[in-house]
Amino acid sequence: MRFRQSETPNDVGPDAGTDVATDREPMQTEVMDPALIKRRMLMLPVNNAAGSGHPEAMSTTARVLVGEGVSVQVLDASMAQLADVRRDLLDLGVRGRARAIARVAAYWRSLCVQPNGAWADALEQGADNAELSLDMLRWGIEQSLSRWTEEGLLALVEHELGDVEVLDAAGNPAAVNGSTLAIPPRLCLQILSRTVPPAGWQAMAMAWLLGSPVLVRPSADLLGLTRVFILSLAKVAPALAAATWMAGSDAGDSEYHRMLASHADAVVVHGGDDAVQAWRKHAAPGAIFVDHGHRISAAYLAAEGLDKLSLLSHLRGLAFDICAWDQNGCLSPVVAYVEQGARIVSIDEVAKMLAEVALPEAEKTLPIGAWSREAQAARTLFIRTRMLEARCYTSKTACVLAYPEPGPLEASCLHRVIILRPVKGPDELVRALRVVGPQLQGLAVAGAATTRASLAARLAPYGLSRVCAPGDLQKPPLDWSHDGRGNLRPLVRWVDLE
């Protein structure tokens, strides 16, 4: 249950986290309600109403499978077209698929700058369901999809697979002699979480780029937004729409999940560790399994990044990384380590500058969402218990907890609460970060390039997959080695022809 977030979420008094619920006006665009369609499966082609300007008046062969507890026979029937759909997708060629994905990106980026454009109501409802502000969702879609250019997508294929031709060869292996084939999945099942919605869209795009049809099962909070995204494909990329199915969400129906997974030879899971473990059990024997489970990120302000001239710039970047996605993504920093020593600004000075200058600037661009009552209560409790040891500095929507002593990287309540801890240098930083083992994801470093390179090498064994400057942590490039593996490589099977 979500409650409208107050303008000052840092109230940690006795009544904090108990705001009275208010609701927005209901959407005018149809959004799936799992409670109404439970135990049903609907094939929903989108009809082309002549002369209609409504975004759903499109001609497409897209299938949106909706429902929980459906029979094996119904799902088997819906998958009967899979072989033909996959052939059509492969026949586009990798360049044709890249062009189609780029058109999707251009379409949605244009929607994000049109306050009253197509799907406006769906975007607003989708943001609310994901506990994000509409401005945050629009920013995230524009920022994420700006990388989906034809040139960028083809460069990604070359970067990860070596040559775009290996994918085209997979579509016509009989014409190839003495080569290596990169075989995409026959069907890729995508399990999506709600924390960063465009990450799920990109996961679908990566499968399409390889030539793999997609069966997507979003979390309950993403049902409406994901459906809108799939239906919109018909206008700009009908071939992708025809190669995409969507299944309803039922977190407690193991048989339903097992049935979905039985049709896929690749399963990609975005979610918590419990979800990853559950879907691993459901995956068919021999299926490719790619998990994007719980990960954690941090920041480091090295001595060379703490001079008066550059400090504010680094803190502005850090504030942006904290506010993006309300600190709920795997690349959201939860702890910032500040190198201490002679002639270096104190940790309290850093905390004060972050709370009073940098964070207020970021908050104007990335306002908070409508956090759930449970999230607000957990946040309040987290702050209260740590105020016994840390000094608390607040902006309008964020909280900075400055500790006087070093400490290990640890999970937090998220939702714009950043911990600052002092360290003597890189050695102490490595000791603090390695405790999270393989769950370490990203590190924003304010310091010299040599410092970043050294830390990358030392922390790679503990899962670190990205090192960058503050402000860039939440804007990974398309060719980022996500979770240390990449976006395309984990999904293909290699076959050598001799």
pLDDT at 186 over 50: yes
Q: Which residue has the higher pLDDT, 45 or 288?
A: 288
Q: Which stretches of 294-357 are assigned E, i.e. beta strand?
A: 296-301, 333-339
The two tokens of residue 335 are: 């702890």
- Domains in the chain (CATH in brackets) are 34-294 (3.40.605.10), 296-480 (3.40.309.10)
Strand 391-394 to 399-402 pairing: antiparallel
Which amino acid, 396?
Answer: K
pLDDT at 375 over 70: yes
pLDDT at 405 over 60: yes
Q: Which residues lie closer than 8 Å to 304 by C-beta, 6 or more apart? A: 447, 448, 451
pLDDT at 241 over 50: yes
Residue 192 near residue 219, CB atoms below 8 Å: yes
pLDDT at 49 over 50: no
pLDDT at 71 over 80: no
| 431 CB neighbour count, 10 Å cutoff | 12
**Of all residues in the chain, what percent carry a pLDDT higher than 70?**
82
Please, which pLDDT band fits residue 109 given cuts at 50, 70 and 90?
Answer: very high
- Tally of residues, the chain: 498
- Give the pLDDT confidence score for residue 250 in this predicted structure: 66
Measured N-to-C along each axis, helices 223-236 and 197-210 cross at an angle, to the nearest 10 degrees, of 40
Which amino acid, 410?
Answer: E
Please give the average per-residue pLDDT across 77-82, as a whole number. 78
- Give the pLDDT confidence score for residue 343 in this predicted structure: 62
Q: Which residue has the higher pLDDT, 269 or 37?
A: 269
Condensed to tens digits (0 to 9), the pLDDT of residues 138-174 reads 999 999 999 999 999 999 999 999 888 888 876 665 5
Please give the average per-residue pLDDT across 171-192, as a whole number. 78
- Give the pLDDT confidence score for residue 456 in this predicted structure: 95
Main-chain phi, psi angles of 298, to 5 degrees? -150, 180
Please give the average per-residue pLDDT across 316-337, as a whole number. 96
- Give the pLDDT confidence score for residue 2 in this predicted structure: 45
- Give the pLDDT confidence score for residue 492 in this predicted structure: 93
Q: Which residues lie closer than 8 Å to 133 by C-beta, 6 or more apart? A: 127, 366, 367, 368, 369, 370
- Give the pLDDT confidence score for residue 178 in this predicted structure: 57
Please give the average per-residue pLDDT across 484-495, as a whole number. 91
Sheet of 417-423, strands arranged across: 391-394, 399-402, 417-423, 333-339, 296-301, 440-446, 466-468
Please give the average per-residue pLDDT across 5-24, as a whole number. 45
| 11 CB neighbour count, 10 Å cutoff | 15
Residue 473 near residue 333, CB atoms below 8 Å: yes
Main-chain phi, psi angles of 434, to 5 degrees? -70, -10
- Give the pLDDT confidence score for residue 182 in this predicted structure: 87
pLDDT at 283 over 50: yes
The two tokens of residue 279 are: 């879907």
- Give the pLDDT confidence score for residue 14 in this predicted structure: 37
Residue 481 near residue 442, CB atoms below 8 Å: no
Query: What is the overall mean pLDDT for the chain?
Result: 83
Beta bridge partners, 372, equal 2
Please, which pLDDT band fits residue 419 given cuts at 50, 70 and 90?
Answer: very high
pLDDT at 35 over 80: no
* pTM score: 0.85
**Of all residues in the chain, what percent carry a pLDDT higher than 90?**
58
- Give the pLDDT confidence score for residue 40 in this predicted structure: 28
Distance CA 410, CA 417 (A): 13
Sign of the CA dihedral running 176, 180, 186, 191 = negative
Distance CA 144, CA 229 (A): 14
**Tokens 């700006």, residue located:** 146
Distance CA 143, CA 15 (A): 37
- Give the pLDDT confidence score for residue 8 in this predicted structure: 59
The two tokens of residue 448 are: 């010299």
Residue 331 near residue 476, CB atoms below 8 Å: yes
